[in-house]
Amino acid sequence: MSAKGSLLSILLAMIIIGVSTSVYIVSEYEKAIVLRLGKLQDENPGPGLHFKIPILDQVKKFDGRVLTLDERAESFYTIQSKRLEVDSFAKWKITNLEQYYKATGGDENVAHNLLSTRINNGLRNEIGKRTLHEVVSGERDQLMTALVKEININAETELGVDIVDIRVKKIDLPNEVRESVFDRMRAAREKEAREYRSKGEEQSEVIRSAADRERTVIEANAYRDSELVRGEGDAIATGTYAEAYSKDPELYSFVRSLNAYKETFQGKEDILLIDPNSDFFRYLKDAKGGK
């Protein structure tokens, strides 16, 4: 290769290196600042391709999305001096790049440490104002809203960030008191269950007594009505029999005798000791019933 060709290759390489060191790209989920000799030159130039002065300019990129700070469980005391183990997490994002860089040096771990201290102090203050019941169930949402509002008062001006939300993943009692608390809760629930069971048994006795009383009344009324109907039926039957008997007494007497024979002589071993001249054999001797 000639000296002229080598020179051109070196010049082309220098141009490529110069262009590559003069260009930087910011993605759509990133934020960036440009420092010139350590001083802020451009804040958040936006997504896309940008140019800088090589050597003089330094580009710092940060994650512009909502980030998660997962806190380790910490101990806090309620207004009743009850100790709780609170496991929480926070959602935050960068809003002021210049202040964020000044406060953290662009290190996300430093930002997490600063936010963690503020969140823990805020949780300690808010939980210390409330009872155990309010923290666990009654006012948890109000507690988190008040905490986010309190931290965001100075978070942007001091750290350049905004707390989007803070949530509690789990609230536990310390191991040394957990069993005793659970025992008290279990005893209270068992007492409440016994009360409900006693009230239920009392109501069941009342309902059962009312049902028995109503059944007795219904049976008595039904028996009375059945006796009235039976009496009316017997009266009608007696009248019918009397009317039929009065129309043909001999036929009625004959039918009754046949029914008596049928009832008396049902088997071959039946024995009847009676006077042969008795009226019982009246129709056996004479079909017309003559004596």
- Backbone φ and ψ for 254, nearest 5 degrees, come out as -65, -45
Q: How far apart are CA 147 and CA 122, in angstroms?
A: 6
Under CATH, which number does the domain 67-172 receive? 3.30.479.30
pLDDT in tens, 199-217: 999 999 999 999 999 999 9
pLDDT in tens, 71-114: 788 888 888 888 888 888 999 999 888 889 888 888 889 999 99
pLDDT tier at 265 (50, 70, 90 boundaries)? low
**Residue 79: partners with Cβ closer than 8 Å, 6 or more residues away:** 128, 129, 130, 131
Every domain of the chain and the residues it spans: 3-63, 67-172, 249-285
